Structure 1
Amino acid sequence: MFDFVRKHTRLFQFALLILILPSFVLLGVEGYSRFIDGSNTAVGTVDGRKITQAEWDAAHRSQVERMRQQMPQIDAKLLDSPELKLEALNNLLRERVLFAAAQQQHLAVTDAVLEQAIKTDPQLAVLRGPDGKLNKAVLAAQGMTADMLVQRMRQDMLLNQVLGPVGQSGTAQQASAKLVFDALLQQREVQIKRFEPAAFAAQLAPTDAELETYYKDAKVSARFKTAESADIEYLVLELDALKSGVQVSADDVRKFYDENVSRYTMAEERRASHILINGGTNAQEKAKARERAQELLAQVRKNPASFAEVARKNSQDEGSAARGGDLDFFARGAMVKPFEDAAYALKTGEISELVESDFGFHIIQLTGVRGGEKRPFEAVRGEIEEEQRRQLAQKRYAELAEQFSNIVYEQSDSLQPAADKFKLTLQKASVQRQPAAGAQGPLASPKLLDAVFGAESLKSKRNTEAVETAPSQLVAARVVTHHPAVVPALAGVKDAVRQGWIAQRASELAKKAGEQALAQAQKGSEPAGLSEPQVLSRAKPGTVPPKVLEHLLRADAAKLPAYTGVEVDGAYVLARVNKLLPRDAAVVDDKRAAEQYAAASANAEAQAYFAAIKTSLKASIKPAAAATAAASASAASAP
């Protein structure tokens, strides 16, 4: 049989091709690859349509990119956290649910509504040109086109139509709001007595047998367990160290300055005011607009000081007309080209001829110029030297990084060869699985510590791989001695165990005494040692611990005085409620109470409506996807 296969290999290859080819024809190469790599796996469903793994990954990437733009210094590890991935999936599910609901309800955003939003939305003011339309140059600088922005706005407005009316429909009666806030912010006059463990500790003297029994409790002994640690030696190859050894020639510095002088010249900016007359939609309207613009040009040429007043009364650029046509300072590229060319050809105070652009006819007056000065060579020499030193060091680092990684791997029984070759100092430290408080540099890197405490590293005590602990910083380490976590013998920690035993027993006695006093008080025997009366509420908690405050405010006060008690921080707090007082109107008046209640009510209605839509569309996240994210989160938080 095997001989037959060997002799007829080409025949079998042809047969396999015939079997496989239809799959590619039907699915396409991309579909086939998705089938293989699992990117088409369903992680959720909405109205019978699946959300794929690839779509989840894309949503997470978009979320990460937005966060990076908003917070450039954010830790990359946080961006890849399981919690953030699950949040991206939940947001994607919500978006799909709202889209499906919008389709079922035949909702749409008309071009007129969208155009009005573009013209009036204050958040888009920076993106609008003098005529109120989207400025393509500004959008391009943000990596967008007008079509992209319009599509995004249409999508957001469509989704808002689903829940928006529900959220806006929330109304609340004044009486209901008053009732809710009266209960929430009710004030109570109380007196308190604390039973502290310290009052009982002095009378406690544990025997050796009691300490031994106490220490045998796994929960107790775990508190005295020594942390796992390792004594390591490590090498650091980094860009900053290489920079100190790089020399830069004076000729290269001067040459760089001469070739890049524009980098050291402040960009010139100009300030102008303009009067805009819209060009119209046909030749007749355009001719009429030109004639009107010529009349205004003659008027301001005759009296340049009247430019601002003429702009306020006649300019059809609504954004700048109220400011007398002022457009503030702008650099090259911020305005349409005809406008920019004219503005940059004027001298301060001059008024241009008519300038025609896609927006209509402009009359421009230059009101200011700033920038354009060149910084002298000596002023920037240090910057250039530092930049060239960094560039040369970066090039050298790139060359050495691969060599460093190879040598610590190939000669894995010692870091000394790498230290000798790259003239690095072999450093020593004692570390634990988690970075120590206040740790800095490589020893604060979870990636390095993960490598150090890897099973193979601890077992063989060979070099770890070279780990990038920071940009342009590689570190390799080797475990010299491993100290596993152990529970010490009782004799070594006897004093600490005794203190723990006493603290626990004293707390138990304090609680017992407090509960006895509470029982007697509830029978009519008023306890001694109560504090002076004080008025407390959720808005004015005073110095009372939150747990005690919540217990006091929840206590049944149908019959006064009322007594209650609660254990907190090892002590026991006994409290007497003397009076019930109305809420302080200065904290939340009736008007604000009604507004906040209405907002909370509307939000609750919107959430309930969304939950109902989810149920009707049978929208859900696959258990496997949620379990994977949860497992990743547990693994990420594990010590």
Structure 2
Amino acid sequence: MRNGLEKKWAKVVLAIIVVPFALFGIDSYLNSMGSNVTVASVNNFEITAQDFQRSMMVLQERLDAEGQDRSILESPEFRKSVIDSLVDSQLIKSAVDKYNFRISDDQLSTYIVGMPDFQENGKFSQDRYDQIVQYNGLTPKKLEQQIRGDMATQQIQGTLANLTYFPKKNIEEIAKIAYQKRHVKLYDMLLLDYEDKIKVSDDEIKEFYEANTDSFIRPDQVKIEFVVYSVANIVPNVNVTDEEVKEFYEFNKQNYEGDEERSASHILFMADASQSDEEVEKVRQKASDVLKDLKKDPKKFEEYAKDLSQDPESAKNGGSLGFFKRGVMVKEFEESAFTLNKGEISDLVRTDFGFHIIRLDDVKGDQVSYKDVKAQVKGELLYGKALEIYNTNAEDFSNIVYEQKESLDPVIKKYNLDVQQSPWMSKADAENFFNNPVFAEAVFDQTIIDSKFNTPAIEVSPNNLVSARVVDFRESEAQALDDVKDEIKTFLTKRNSQENLINDGNKLVEGLQDGSAKEPKWIDELTIDRSDKQGLSDVIAEEIFKMNSSNLPIYSGIYDPKGEFMVIKLDKVDSESILEEDVEFFNEEFMAAIEKEIEKSYVEDLRAESKVKINSKFLQFAQ
């Protein structure tokens, strides 16, 4: 069966003890595993890399369960939000202790007994409770401690929610505004049409230059030569044999199974190491008897699964485990499930969980052969070997560029590297060169500039080490007019075009409003609301909902930085066709938004009162 029985029950426990991520982030279940790397600290409490990695694993499980793309986990912004959530979680836990929020034994007992996940046939089941504790590697005391802590945390949530109040009689009017539909006609005037008509003279350029000389100071600049020691450069020099590729594939076969998925059902008869040989044999005999019956009458499978299976989650569904790929189930279960034909029932399968009777229900997706993935496997093996060489030599590379800092030649010769040259770069250019501010600081260090020594080796990105030396330097100075003439011309063209466009647009709006102008040929006619802007930009939609609708029609205009002036005619507003259920829904959303803001402000206050430090270096290289 599935690492899946464990995973399903783990999700049950997490569902119990995780405080909602929107406010409190990853819960206190993610304890430190002794890592020395500190991701963040809250007062004297350290949040470790182990906490961070466990948080990411929980989120990955959640995304996989919901069928979401896990690539979001690689975003630096997302990772920062995870760390912030861990910090917020610790701030809340500290507040629980500080303000003496406590859960009594009776409250805890009532809560646990009443939880559906610990019940069978509508009643609390001690066996089910013990199974969940066991399969999550916890003790009852530890689980109850976690639940107690998170119940106390949610007491704070409840207290904050009680601060939220808004008179219900006012909700309907606000809901009408929120769901209001506005009918508009649109006419756009394009900036490009105006730019074609603008002529900027040399005198205008010179006048602008002389009035803004401080804006045309070229900053300090350097030219550098540099070398890159990277995994990518090592790969072409690595060789692997077909035998190595085949061996690697067989060892990691579960990673190359394509998109084939199998749906199976099972009946579990639990038997584990805590039972005696006699007890295990009794379980095996019972399972064998059931298997004989099923071989005679396979249609009884769902009935037996519901009545006899000791996997309570799948038993509810006639034993169904749904679709799964290779690598999800434990090895013995997987080997059986992936050799069965559709509708076939297996012999008894023994795993650490006990004895299984498995039926294959369905197959979808394509199975991938070794031939199909050989090139991919070879590439991964080459990269792996190159990475191993890189890791072995990285320290030596760093030592050479430091100890023989007068030149890059020694490291170039030893590792057969190409020396590269940069154009003139400002410090801002240097930051963008490798998207790494540490590199920019190094090449603009005054000692490096004066001595022409190598910079220390800098890992500008994962598995890419760089060392550079400054070959030329020039101080900041005023740029000559001829050097910036084109830049000024472009700026003045755009600025003058924009001014003319906005002036003409406002004149048209005024003329339409007082009746002195003829209506243009409207390019579009739309009915929009705040949730459906019909493709309009936020700038234009916001202007439409700002327009005073007391005396229709009314005209307005707004310049969109995207390069157009939009003339708007508002001729109809519908605020009446709102259902009672819409009002109720809005009331819930409105109150939830207010509660969220109060909760957010509360956490911000806790941060302000605490000493919070984030390890920015860890965040940078967390990928």
TM-score (norm 1): 0.61
Contact 1:235 1:476 in 2 (8 A): yes
Name the SS of the counterpart of 1:621 in structure 2: helix
Q: Which runs of 5+ in 2 are unaligned?
A: 1-37, 61-69, 256-261, 272-278, 338-343, 362-367
| 2:469 counterpart residue number | 478
Alpha-carbon shift at residue 415 of structure 1 (Å): 1.0
1:103 counterpart SS class: coil
From the superposition, tell whether residues 454 and 118 of structure 1 become closer, same or farther in structure 2 (CA, over 3 Å): farther
> Matched residues in 2 for 1:434 and 1:200: separation?
30
**In structure 2, distance between residues paired with 1:544 and 1:217:** 39
Preserved contact between residue 137 and residue 335 of structure 1 (Cα < 8 Å): no
Q: CA RMSD in A?
A: 6.2
C-alpha change, 1:322 and 1:509, in structure 2 (3 Å) is closer
Q: Does 1:274 align with 2:267?
A: yes
Give the superposition deviation at 1:490. 1.8
Give the counterpart letter for 1:232 in structure 2.
I
SS in 1 for 2:422: strand
Partner of 2:91: 93
Q: Aligned pair in 2 of structure 1 residues 174, 211: CA closer, same or farther (>3 Å)? A: same
Q: Distance in 2 between matches of 1:368 and 1:59?
A: 43
Q: Is the 8 A contact 2:287 2:348 kept in 1?
A: no
Structure 1 partner of 2:447 = 456
**2: CA distance between counterparts of 1:493 and 1:458?**
27
Residue 26 of structure 2: aligned partner: none
C-alpha contact (below 8 Å) 2:133/2:143 kept by paired residues: no
Q: Is 1:315 matched with 2:308?
A: yes
User: How far apart, in 2, do the equivalents of 1:426 and 1:501 lie?
Assistant: 41
CA distance in 2, matches of 1:196, 1:270: 57
Alpha-carbon distance in structure 2 between the residues aligned to 1:247 and 1:195: 62
Which residue in the other structure is 2:541 paired with?
549
CA distance in structure 2 between the aligned counterparts of 1:154 and 1:453, rounded to whole angstroms: 55
Q: Check if 1:528 corresponds to 2:512.
A: no
2:177 aligns to what SS in structure 1? helix
C-alpha separation in 2, matches of 1:377 and 1:501: 62
Kindly, what percent of the aligned residue pairs are identical? 17
User: Taking structure 1 as reference, are residues 211 and 176 closer, same or farther at Cα in structure 2, changes over 3 Å only?
Assistant: same
Counterpart Cα distance in 1 of 2:446 and 2:86 = 33
Deviation string 1:120-156 (CA, Å, 9 cap, x unpaired) is 699xxxxx9995754578545xxx7776555444433
Cα distance in 1, alignment partners of residues 607 and 252 from structure 2: 57
- Counterpart CA distance in 2 for 1:230 and 1:423 is 26
Cα pair distance change 1:469/1:118, threshold 3 Å: farther
- Structure 1 equivalent of residue 10 of structure 2: none
Q: Identify the residue that residue 251 of structure 2 maps to in structure 1.
A: 263
Is 1:427 the equivalent of 2:420?
yes
Equivalent residue for 1:402? Answer: 395
Per the alignment, residue 232 of structure 1 pairs with: 224
- Assess, with a 3 A threshold, how the Cα gap between structure 1 residues 582 and 484 changes in structure 2: closer, same or farther: farther
C-alpha distance in 2, partners of 1:423/1:578? 70
3-state DSSP class of the match of 1:58?
A: strand
Residues 231 and 479 in structure 1, CA contact (< 8 A), matched pair in contact too: yes
SS in 1 for 2:405: coil
Partner of 1:414: 407
Q: Do the aligned partners of 2:101 and 2:152 also contact (CA within 8 Å) in 1?
A: no
Cα 1:121/1:480, change in 2 over 3 Å: farther
Counterpart-to-counterpart distance in 1, 2:189 and 2:378: 70
Shift of 1:239: 4.1
Give the alignment partner of residue 149 of structure 2, picking from 151, 155, 158: 155
- 1:213 offset after TM fit, Å? 3.4
CA contact (8 A) 1:517 1:527 kept: yes
What letter matches 2:421 in structure 1? K
Q: What are the superposed Cα offsets for residues 305-344 of structure 1, whole Å, 9 maximum, x if unpaired?
A: 465265156327443444445668999997899x99xx9x
What is the alpha-carbon distance in structure 1 between the residues aligned to residue 101 and residue 116 of structure 2?
24
Map residues 238-387 of structure 1 onto 2, 5 A cutoff.
238-242=230-234, 244-245=236-237, 263=251, 273-274=266-267, 300=293, 305=298, 307-308=300-301, 310-311=303-304, 314-315=307-308, 317=310, 318-325=312-319, 365=357, 367=359
Cα distance in 1, alignment partners of residues 370 and 188 from structure 2: 74
Greater shift in the superposed pair: 153-162 or 60-69: 60-69
Shift of 1:429: 3.2
Partner residue, 2:573: 581
- Listed one character per residue, the Cα deviations across residues 62-94 of structure 1 (whole Å, up to 9, x for unaligned) are 34652377468966976886x876665444323
Determine the structure 1 residue equivalent to 2:590: 600
Change (3 A) 1:112 1:294: farther
Separation in 2, partners of 1:383, 1:574: 52
Alpha-carbon distance between aligned partners in 2 of 1:176 and 1:471, rounded to the nearest angstrom: 56
SS at match of 1:463: coil
- Tell me by how many angstroms 1:58 deviates: 1.6
Unpaired runs of 5+ residues, structure 1, are 1-38, 44-50, 123-127, 279-285, 370-374
Change (3 A) 1:196 1:304: closer
Aligned mate of 1:621, from 608, 619, 623: 608
Residue of structure 2 aligned with 1:54, choices 44, 47, 56: 44
1:464 deviates by 0.9
Relative distance call for 1:187 and 1:486 in structure 2 (3 A) is farther
- Asked whether the 8 Å contact 1:229–1:485 carries over to 2, the reply is yes
2:460 is matched with which residue? 469
Tell me by how many angstroms 1:556 deviates.
Answer: 2.5
| Counterpart in the other structure of 1:103 | 101
Note if contact 1:211-1:497 (Cα within 8 Å) is conserved in structure 2: yes
Structure 2: how far apart are the matches of 1:85 and 1:261? 36
What secondary structure sits across from 1:412 in the alignment? coil
Q: How has the CA–CA distance of structure 1 residues 505 and 544 changed in structure 2, closer, same or farther, with 3 Å as cutoff?
A: same
Q: Letter of the aligned partner of 1:453 in structure 2?
A: F
Residue-by-residue CA offset, 1:518-565 (whole Å, 9 max, x unaligned): 56666x443234443834434454565433432232122323343444
Seen in structure 2, the aligned counterparts of structure 1 residues 457 and 87 have a Cα distance that, compared at 3 Å, is farther
Match of 1:558 among 539, 550, 560: 550
Distance 1:405 1:188 in 2: 65
Q: Contact 2:42 / 2:87 at 8 angstroms: preserved in 1? A: no
The residue aligned with 1:19 is none
One-letter code of the match for 1:466?
A: A
CA offset at residue 479 of structure 1? 1.9
Matches within 5 A, 1:68-83: 70=60
Supply the distance in 2 between the matched residues of 1:226 and 1:272 (Cα, whole angstroms): 71
CA radius of gyration, larger in: 1
Q: Distance in 1 between matches of 2:52 and 2:385?
A: 36
Deviation at 1:584, TM superposition (A): 9.3
- Whether 1:186 and 2:180 are equivalent positions in the alignment is yes
User: How far does residue 463 in structure 1 lie from its aligned partner after superposition?
Assistant: 0.8
TM-score, normalised with respect to structure 2: 0.62
Write the letter of the residue equivalent to 2:47.
A
